[in-house]
Structure 1
Amino acid sequence: MPDLPTLKPVLAGKAVLQGKTIRLEALPEGHLLHVMGATTTEEIKAHLLAAGAGESSVRPAGYRQWFIAGGDQFSVVHLRALSETLAGCAFISDQSHGRVRIRVSGLNAAQVLNKGTAVDLNPSAFPVGSTAMTLFGHISMQLTRTGSDDFELTVLRSFAESLYEEIEEAALSQGAERLVS
């Protein structure tokens, strides 16, 4: 029987960039679930706890849509339990294989991101926990502020390398250097 292809993280060959005021890194390709239905962020969080998967973050992704994101693989048992607890009010689509997460952090993170997106990243307009479906240049992404100077970008897998390279150029212009792994 022929060997089956193995999953290779799309940004596996990309170096982490680090400077005094900026850091760029690919996050582990853990899980990303798309939830659609008549529910709320709080209900989804409660269902995640009930399903034994409370470590994940829940992010709005549009009208009656959310992303559940985390760094670990989401087990079939947890996915089934979550689907059962949401039955009748929401549906889940596993997007883990099709999307990639990237972290941009540091004092100049917003400045770097402002080179490609029109979202007002001032903390008064986009506080911690805020999320927006937006563009970076021509690439569609979900932008989430995870800390005062920390952002997470979720992008379709086929655009991940292009997005990383665009942000890499902006980070290099801020004095970042490639770290040797």
Structure 2
Amino acid sequence: MLDLPQKKPVLAGKAALQGPDIRLEALPEGHLLHVMGATTTEDLEAHLSAAGIKDSAVRPAGYRQWFIAGNNVLPNALVRDFSNALAGSAFVSDQSHGRVCIGVSGLRAAELLSKGTAVDFHPATFPQGRTAMTLFGHISLQVARTGADEFELTVLRSFAESLYEELEALALSLGAARVSS
């Protein structure tokens, strides 16, 4: 019997970049669930807790849509239990295999991101917890503010390397250097 292909992190060979006011890094490929339906963020958080899914962020992704993101790979049984708990009100699609997360942080993170997208990242209009579906150049992604100067970008797996290379060039222009591993 042939061996099944092994999942390899798409950004595994990419070095993090660090500068005085900027950091760019590939984040762990954990879990990303796409939820669609008639529910609320609060209900999703309660269902996650009841299903035993911890350390997950619930992020709005459009009208009646959310991404549930975390750094840990979820067992299929947990995803199934969560999906069953939402039956009748929402559908769950596991996108963990198809999307990648990239972290951009530091005092100049918003400046870096503003070079590729039209989102206003001023804290008054884009506070911590806010998300936006947008384009970075020609690449569609979700950007989430996860801290005062921390952002997480969620992009389709097939565009992750291209996006990372664009971000690398911008980070280097802001004084970052590759971090040796």
Note whether the superposition's TM-score is higher than 0.5.
Answer: yes
Q: Does 1:167 align with 2:167?
A: yes
Secondary structure of 2:35 counterpart: strand
Q: Distance in 2 between matches of 1:7 and 1:85?
A: 28
Task: State the partner residue of 1:112.
Answer: 112
Task: State the partner residue of 2:132.
Answer: 132
Can you list the C-alpha shifts for 1:79-126, whole angstroms capped at 9, x where unaligned?
Answer: 111012111100000000000000000000000000001000000010
Runs of 4+ with >3 A deviation: none
Q: Does 1:76 align with 2:81?
A: no
Can you list the C-alpha shifts for 1:5-64, whole angstroms capped at 9, x where unaligned?
Answer: 111110000000011100000001100000000000000000000000131000000000
Q: Distance in 2 between matches of 1:40 and 1:139?
A: 28
Unaligned runs of 5+ in 1: none
TM, length-normalised to structure 1: 0.99
Tell me if structure 2 keeps the 8 A contact 1:48–1:54.
Answer: yes
Task: State the partner residue of 2:94.
Answer: 94
Q: Does 1:152 align with 2:152?
A: yes
Tell me if structure 2 keeps the 8 A contact 1:45–1:54.
Answer: no
How far did 1:68 drift?
0.3
Task: State the partner residue of 1:42.
Answer: 42
Q: Distance in 1 between matches of 2:14 and 2:26?
A: 8
What amino acid does structure 2 have at the position aligned with 1:146? T
How far did 1:163 drift?
0.4
Tell me if structure 2 keeps the 8 A contact 1:24–1:171.
Answer: yes
Q: Distance in 1 between matches of 2:4 and 2:39?
A: 38
**Cα root mean square deviation, aligned:** 0.6
Secondary structure of 2:47 counterpart: helix
Secondary structure of 1:168 counterpart: helix
What is the count of residue pairs matched by the alignment? 181
Q: Distance in 1 between matches of 2:37 and 2:156?
A: 22
Unaligned runs of 5+ in 2: none
Task: State the partner residue of 2:85.
Answer: 85
Task: State the partner residue of 1:20.
Answer: 20
Moved more, 76-85 or 89-98: 76-85
Task: State the partner residue of 1:65.
Answer: 65
Q: Distance in 1 between matches of 2:125 and 2:57?
A: 21
